[in-house]
Each structure stands twice: as C-alpha cells, then as structure tokens.
Amino acid sequence: MPTATSKLHGRAGELKVIDRQLAEARSGRSSALVIRGETGIGKSTLLAHAEQAAADLSVLRGSGIESETNLPFAGLHLLLRTVLDRVEELPAPHAKALHRAFGACGDAEERGGDRFAVGLAVLALLRELTEAAPVLVVVDDAHWLDRGSAEALLFAARRLPARGVTMLFAARDLYAPPFPAQGIEELRLTGLDPAAAGELLAECADDLPPPRREDVVREARGNPLALIEIAAANREGRQGRQSTEVAPHNRVLHSFAERIAVLPETTRTMILVAAADGTCDTGTVLAAGALLGASLDDLRVAEDAQLLTFTDNCLVFRHPLMRTAAYRTVPMAHRIRAHKALADVLDSPDEVDRKAWHLAAASTGHDEDVAKALESSAEHARARGGYAAVAAAYEQAAALSPLRDDRGRRLSAAARAAADAGQLDHARNLAYQATTQLTDPLELSLAAMIHATLAEDDNNPLEAHYILSRAAERVAEREPELAGRLLFWAAGSASVGDDLPAVERTAELAEKLGVSGTSRIRALATVSGGKVSESIHALRQLVSGETLFTDCVDHPLALRGRTTLASWYSLLGDDAAAGTLAIEVTTDSRAGAAMGVLPKALAVLAKTQLHLGRHKDALASASEGMRIADDIGQQQSRAALAGVLAHLAAIEGKEAEVERLTSEAPAQAAMAARTLLDLGLGRHDAVIDRLDRLGGEFEGLHSLALVPDLVEAAVKARRPELARRQLDRYVTWAEQTGRPWAKAVASRCGALLGEEPLFEEAVRLHLAEQGRPFERARTELLYGEWLRRARRKEQARTQLRSALAIFERLGALPWIERARTELRAAGRPADAGQPATRSTDLERMLTPQELRIARLAAQGLTNRDIGTRMYLSPRTVGYHLYKTYPKLGISSRGELAKLGLAR
C-alpha cells in the first residue's frame, strides 16, 4: 500500500516544532509533546521524522495496542524492552517497582504497589539514560495504552529531569479512548491545505486524470491517508463517487472493509483471528486460524494484499483502521468463534490472562468459570500494581457472575481498584452498583466504606454520611457491632461536613438500632458542638479508642482512621503525638500503596511540622501532598493542604499567595490565614471587621486557634471587649489539655487584656516546653513591646532579640520587621538581634530537597542509602550535595556532621 511517509507535504510548521524539541534535548533541556489528530492525519509520520532526525540520541519507541489495554503495563514493557538491563542500576525502590510492574517480582511482600511508584521509576530510568546521551521517547497510538502505562509515562513527562529528554506521544482524537494529558504541550494536526494535498496526490496517484484528482482532494478533506486510500480505490475501480459529507475516518474504514471483502473466505478468517488477537503473536494466530480452517498460505495472501505485515518478527496490521475494519465489519458470531479459537490454543501458564479475556469475549451470558478466570487475572494484575487492569477484570467478571453476591463482591473489588487507579467517578458508580447487589454484611459494609471514602475525597462528606447510615441500617440486625462501626464513621463524616444535627441523628439511630458504640458517636457530637471542657473530655474518650482505627479489615480504611486519630491529637495540642502518628501513616501509606490516604496524612504532618517550627519540612510535605491530591483528584485533601500552605504564606507575609490559597482552603483555615496575615502587617481593624461580619461567635474546638489572633487584634484596635468571652474558652482549653505552650499563649492573651504580670508566666511556660516556636516569638515580641513602653529597655531588648532570632529562622518577614522596629525603639540598631544558631542559619540557605539530603548525609548515610529513602539515584544525590557544600562553606562530607543539621 502506498504510504504518506515518503515526503511530508504541508507540515513545515509541525516539523519545526519537532526539530525545536530535539534541539532542546541536545542542549540539555527536557520537554514533552502530545500530537493529536484524527486517523490518517499524519501523527505517525511526524513520529517517524523525529526518529530519523534523532540519530545522535538514544531512542525508545513504543506503541499502545488495542487488545492489550487491559494488560497492566504492557505498553510500558514494550517501550522499555531494549533498556531493561539498566533497571538494576536504579535505586532499590525504583528497580522493585519496575520488576513488579513487569511481573518479575516473586516475593509476596513486594506484590501490589503504588500506582505512582512506577512513574517515579520511569523518571529515574530516564535520568540514568541521559548520562550517555539525550533521550527521545516516542509513543504511537497512546490512546490504546493500558492505564498503568499511560499514568506512569505521563507522570514522568510532567516531571522530566533537567537533562535532555524529549517525550512525544501521538493520540487519536476521534473513535478512540481519551488520552488526557493535562499540563503537557499539545500539537493538533489539521487537514492539509489544497495545494499540499494536491502535491501528495500527484506523488502517489499521478495516473488519475486531473478532474478525478480534484474530486479526491475534495472528498479526503486534507486527510493524507484518505487521499491515498480514495485514490487507490478509484484506480482499482472499487467505488464510485462518494458524498463529501462522509467523514474521512469512515471513508477509509469503508475502503479497508472493501479490500478485505474481496479476499478468499479462509484469508478473511485468518485476518479476523489476527484482529481478534491484537498482538504480534504469529504462532498463536496461526494455531487458532488452523482450528477454523485457515493456514499460513492465507497469511501470505493477506500480506500480498498489503493488509498485514511482519515487523520485528511481529505480525501487525499496516494501519490500525485495517484491524478495526477486519473486526467490526463481520457478524458477531464470527468474532465469537475467533475468540473461542484463540482461547483454546492459549494453554501456557504465562497466557492465562489473555485466555481469560478471550473467553470473556466469547461469552454470551453468565458463566461462573469465565468469571473466576477473570478474577484470577485481576489478582495477577494487582500483583503488578496495574489497578486499572484489576478494575476492568473484576468489572467484567461481575458482568458474567450468575449469583448476586458474587456479582456484588466483584463490583466492590472493581470499585476499590478503580479508586486506586484514580478513576474516581467510575469507582463511585461501581461501589453504588455493588451495594445494590450484596447481602453479606461484611461485603456490603466494605462496599459502603469504599463508596463513602470516594464521596469524602470529592469533598462530599454528607453524601458519605448518608451512604454509611443506610448501610448500617441494612446490616444492623445480623451484625450489630459492624453497624455500630459504620454509624461511627457516618457521624465522623457529618462532623467533617459541619452538620451537627446529622451527628446527633446518627447517635439516635444507633440507639434505635441497638448497636454498639453509641457513646462514641455521642462523643463525636460533643466534640463538634459541646462546651470546651465537655469537648476535651469527649476527645480524650475518642483518642483512647485507638483500636477503632487499627482493626479495620480494609488496610487503607484503617490508615484513614489513624489519620483522623492524628488530627484529634492535634486538637488536643499534642503536636508530638500527632506528628509521630502522621509519620507512621505516611510511611505505611507509601509501603502499602495507599495513595488515597497519603495526601490526608501529609496534611496532618505538614500542619504539625508548621506548629513545631519546621517550616521548610512543612512546605515540602504540603507541596508533595498537593501534587498527589491533584494527580488523584482528591478535592478534600487539596483544600486541607491549601489551608496549611496559606498559613505558611501568611507567616511570611506573601499576600498574593495567601489570597490564592485561601480561595480553595476550608473556611476556618482561610480565615485563620487571612487573620494572621493582617495581624503581621498591622491591619488590626481588618481583623475586627472580619470578626464583626461573623457576629464575633465561634463554636467548636477548631475555632480556638483563632482566639489568640483575635485577642491581639482587638487590643491593638482598642476594642478589648470583643475578645474577653472567647479568651475564657481558650483558657479552659489550655488548662484541660495541659500543654505548656497552650497555657503560655493563654497567659499572653491575659497579659494583653491588662494582667501584665502574666507576660513573665507566659515566657516561663514557653521555655519549659520547646513547642510552637512561632507562638513563643510572638509572646516575646509583645512582652518586649510592653517592656519598652514601661521604659524597661534592657529587659525589652532581651525579649526582642530572642523573638527576632526565631522570626528570622522561620522567614516570618512582617514579624521580623516588627521586631527590628521595636529593637530600634529600644535603643539598638535593627541588626542587633541575637544571632540564630549556626544550624538554623545554614538551613535557610538550602532548598527543602537539599536540606533533607544534607540531614541524611550528616547522619552518615551513603548516597545510595539516601537515594533509596528519597527515590533518587545515587548520582542525583551526589549532584545535590555538590551544590550544597559551597552554600554551607564546607568542602567534604565529613564536615556535615559538625554543622548540627542532623535531626
């Protein structure tokens, strides 16, 4: 068949884009591009040009294959098959992720996996390959990639290393699955203009008379493949004049179908078997064809007709639409026979997954044996981390299941896998379907929990409350303890949604059903809307029930419960316990591939790090959480993380960033960040105006964090009466929690409201516990201001120097300026603050990544050990240390340990 690849007509602009990206790779820059367009428009031709122009680059070439869209990481394996020997050079986590993805990991502990770990591993492999030469990655028919491969490659494409990598994807626009590639540059191909179309036609069909040639140009509408096929059809007399309203895709498909229809019956059978198989497994196609009366001679006939060809010892169609025409234009009964024949010849243990899918394609009704085969295929896919493939196999198995409970159980498994694969809308639909089929209490409860979890992640906690409450009612009679657990989760969801009446109704429902755990639900209601002392007592009761979150049969759901537990410790002011638990959950989430939990845990961890004065660590944790929440579409976690980032920006006085982040943060966190920013910038009236708009009333423990800021603003604005009632609530909370830093802040607020001796008590309490350094510095600043006004300047300078040192370490610019101004007023120059410690001075010089690497190196870890922990290659670790040494004023690794960075 003539091709459009001999010469590129009318594509000068597109070629310039490709050549520019290759030039960037040669100069050490990286880029990614998705080429989009309809079938036959020239996408593959541009990729071929890129390969030819990249003779001096390392080239990786792959393609999506329609029949392998449900085989986990099939596309990635095809792409990386020539460089698999380099995998062992990667850090251990990356090597394990790729081995697992390609089914080469036999250790049961290494089965399953994080859907993002493979993307990180691909990124690490690309970094390694660029050490020898720039790299060109070419992926044709990207719309047919299996979900795991597509996610891994796009994950890497969005985070390409600084050294030269160019990634080119070609994806069809119409009549194909979507290939969403947000954040990556796109090049959309349109039809050739008439002049370029005429040039192409003159090259491939110069024997057509000019009037007919003009008709062909008009009918093809600029599509190069349509030009060639319509011209060939006219030359061979296979068709007459066609309406120009017919899409080029359909015109070409019709042309291919006509070419197949004139072949002998046994040849058509062999072509159909090859189309149904969809791989390049020539032996399997020949064996299945033989069962249906076809032979090798028929393959030769198809090859002579330029429909099939052998490339790299693989049997492939000359164009994807040829396969479509061969498969879609025959009766269903013929397709079923082809799939049955293929299933009959696939007997190797390595082929059980392909066999299962062919059996499914050949099924016309419920079939438990085929459903079991698909379920087995799903678990094979799970072992490789291919969650989209797990979901597809379980969903198909459910469709073939004769019994409702089996159908519901498989739909529930499909929902969990779809959620793990990031297919959140589909997962919610599957979970709902599962709950309509299941009668077993445990299976029904798990399906409801999955459904509710997805609703919460989509920031719909009240929907989650409804789902869990209804499930509890259905299982209460047979499993009262399980129903009690469901209602407790339901009450928690209502609490997150700030619907106190719903929490109370849940407690009433628990009493009506006679299930266990009613007292815990009442405790949740008290925490949400009770008096401070009652809320603290209830919160301690909830924290003491830690087993609620460790014995859940579903591991990711148990991790979510432990994340909630960490947030409750934070409400009690226990930053150490909250941080320790958040670190454990993040570690377990990474190890157990529970990526849906990780952003939530990182939000709690980042908030704790912020409280502990580890602002760079908090920024790193929150930023990582934001990226993951974006990748998996988790709106609720993104909002919580935006609140932490807004608080950090407020401390640093970054007004535009605070405005941007608070637009998506929860209302309470947004108000806290805006209030802190206004306070730092001296806009006390703005804080009071905001307080007046809210009526000056706040309920619940979460609101107590605002009280110290409101007290300071009210005093500065000369309206102290606005703060007194709120302070009583805060003092009660501080006394009940028993945290020294909380008592210190309460004493500071009392001092501001006229009880000046409490300043000394506040400073003493801060020094008794090294918690919340930002609050300590604020106390010292306010005390220093009061001492200066009382003409006790030497004492004032002591407090102000200490405050300035902390503010400088934290990068709190508005507060630094306030402390310096006070120091000047107290008789010292602005730079006379107490110097920070050597280690904190040095920390400010480093990026979060450099600081983390430097800390690990200071502990004595090797580059490979650090790389294993941080998912970096040893070479990348060395590169960061190379940049770090001059910043720290040292020249060797041995000097790091003396700088006090390790902690």
Transcribe 376-418 into DSSP letters: HHHHHHHHTT-HHHHHHHHHHHHHH-SSHHHHHHHHHHHHHHH
For the ranges 368-372, 479-483, 563-567, 845-849, the lowest mean pLDDT is seen at: 845-849
For the ranges 12-26, 127-141, 347-361, 830-844, the lowest mean pLDDT is seen at: 830-844
What kind and span of H or E run contains 188? strand 185-188
Digit-coded pLDDT (tens) for 172-218: 887 778 898 888 999 998 888 888 877 787 777 766 666 666 767 77
What number of other Cβ atoms are within 10 A of residue 175's Cβ? 15
What kind and span of H or E run contains 860? none
Digit-coded pLDDT (tens) for 47-97: 999 999 999 999 999 998 887 888 888 899 999 999 998 988 887 778 888
**Encoded tokens for 315:** 């049997």
For the cut 60, the answer to whether the pLDDT of residue 35 exceeds it is yes
The DSSP bridge pattern shows strands 185-188 and 31-37 to be: parallel
794: Cβ contacts below 8 Å, ≥ 6 apart:
none
In whole angstroms, give the CA distance from residue 439 to residue 146: 33
**Encoded tokens for 737:** 């929690």
pLDDT at 374: 92
For the cut 80, the answer to whether the pLDDT of residue 371 exceeds it is yes
pLDDT at 782: 95
pLDDT at 406: 93
Digit-coded pLDDT (tens) for 658-680: 999 999 998 889 999 999 999 99
Span 804-821, average pLDDT: 92
Helix ranges restricted to H, 575-706: 575-591, 598-611, 615-632, 635-651, 655-662, 667-680, 684-693
For the cut 60, the answer to whether the pLDDT of residue 5 exceeds it is no
pLDDT at 234: 63
Sole residue written with tokens 């394990």: 96
pLDDT at 776: 95
SS3 431: helix
Is 465 in contact with 488 (CB distance < 8 Å)?
Answer: no
Digit-coded pLDDT (tens) for 101-152: 887 654 434 444 456 778 888 988 998 898 889 999 999 999 999 988 998 9
SS3 681: coil
Confidence of residue 245 (pLDDT cuts 50, 70, 90): very low
For the cut 50, the answer to whether the pLDDT of residue 246 exceeds it is no
Digit-coded pLDDT (tens) for 586-613: 888 776 556 778 888 999 999 999 999 9
pLDDT at 440: 86
pLDDT at 901: 64
In whole angstroms, give the CA distance from residue 683 to residue 676: 10
For the cut 70, the answer to whether the pLDDT of residue 476 exceeds it is yes
Q: What is the mean pLDDT of the chain?
A: 83
Which residue from 860, 799, 871, 790 is spatially nearest to 828, judged by alpha carbons?
799
Confidence of residue 3 (pLDDT cuts 50, 70, 90): very low
For the cut 60, the answer to whether the pLDDT of residue 549 exceeds it is no
pTM over 0.85: no
Which residue from 35, 41, 81 is spatially nearest to 179, judged by alpha carbons?
35
The DSSP bridge pattern shows strands 314-317 and 308-311 to be: antiparallel
Span 478-483, average pLDDT: 86
